[in-house]
Amino acid sequence: MRDHDIETQPPRLQIFENVVPGQLLEEMNATLDACRQSWRPADGRRATDTAARFAELLRRHAPFQVAERQACARSRQGAREAGWDIGRGPPLYVLRCVNGSLRGQSHLRHYDSHILTLLIPLQQAAPTRENGDLIIYRHRRDTVAAWKNVITKVRLILLRSLPFAIRRALTFRHLALGLCDRIACVPGNLYVFNGFVTLHANLHVESGERRSLIFHYYDPGLTAGLSHVPRAWRTLRDRLLDAIQPVRSGD
């Protein structure tokens, strides 16, 4: 395990190396290969039961289990210090499969609704200029009042509706200015960050397919309900998709 070398205290991004066995990666990718041709929904994001099942399989491996426990403990401590009431809800498990046809899913700068994000890359896209790498901004917001968070969310939603070419140009300009960093997410590693205070996005995927498993923990409830409607809609959509197009794990 090492902290990413961009910052030291506290780490903006923490990387736990080699915590996912290669064989398990192969099994998870084989499960996704089986439904690759018909993967829905169109945005490539799905909170399917399979994601929760993958989480169970990962937790059978001690290195991953230890890393997750450490990340959660650190995050809960941070929430206590910030005075956030994060409740005891279960994590949100999401699978993302993004290829070149999903331009609308890249260069979307945003903050997460949850304070802890665990990113588990399952498969990298082809190594081209744009391969879906994680873009993570250096400046983190520190005080997050609910009203301020809502205004920020609305502003980012408006920016996300900009044309792809402008969103992409902004990303590369910000990289050139040193406002953000490009992180190559390697399968086998675990990437941990606070997506609630850290602005982030992904590069476009020019060729191949980027697959990621994402765990979101601890919602401090500072969106004034703004995230509830889209989240409820996605949950309903994913349950319907699970019913009509199940993603079967190979066990």
In the complex, the smallest distance separating the C-beta of residue 134 from Fe ion, rounded to whole angstroms, is: 9
Q: Closer CB to Fe ion, residue 112 or residue 133?
A: 112
Binding part of the chain for Fe ion, among 73-81, 109-117, 177-185, 201-209 by CB under 5 A, reads 109-117
Q: Closer CB to Fe ion, residue 91 or residue 195?
A: 195
In the complex, the smallest distance separating the C-beta of residue 117 from Fe ion, rounded to whole angstroms, is: 6
In the complex, the smallest distance separating the C-beta of residue 198 from Fe ion, rounded to whole angstroms, is: 9
Q: Closer CB to Fe ion, residue 24 or residue 175?
A: 175
In the complex, the smallest distance separating the C-beta of residue 33 from Fe ion, rounded to whole angstroms, is: 25
Binding part of the chain for Fe ion, among 58-66, 111-119, 163-171, 236-244 by CB under 5 A, reads 111-119
Q: Does 112 bind Fe ion (CB under 5 A)?
A: yes
Alpha carbons 149 and 145: distance in angstroms, whole number:
6
Find all residues with CB under 8 Å of 222, minimum gap 6, and list them.
84, 144, 145, 146, 149, 196
Is residue 29 within 8 A of residue 211, CB to CB? The reply is yes
Q: Closer CB to Fe ion, residue 78 or residue 195?
A: 195
Contacts (CB under 5 A) with Fe ion, residues 187-226: 195
Rounded to 5 degrees, what angle do the CA atoms 193, 48, 194 make?
A: 10
Number of residues that bind Fe ion (CB under 5 A): 2
User: Two tokens at 58?
Assistant: 């990962």
Give residue 44's identity as a one-letter amino acid code.
G
- In sequence order, what DSSP letters do the residues of 7-36 get, joined into one string? --SS-SEEEETT-S-HHHHHHHHHHHHTTG
- In sequence order, what DSSP letters do the residues of 157-173 get, joined into one string? HHHHTS-HHHHHHHHHH
Give the interface with Fe ion as residue ranges (CB under 5 A): 112, 195
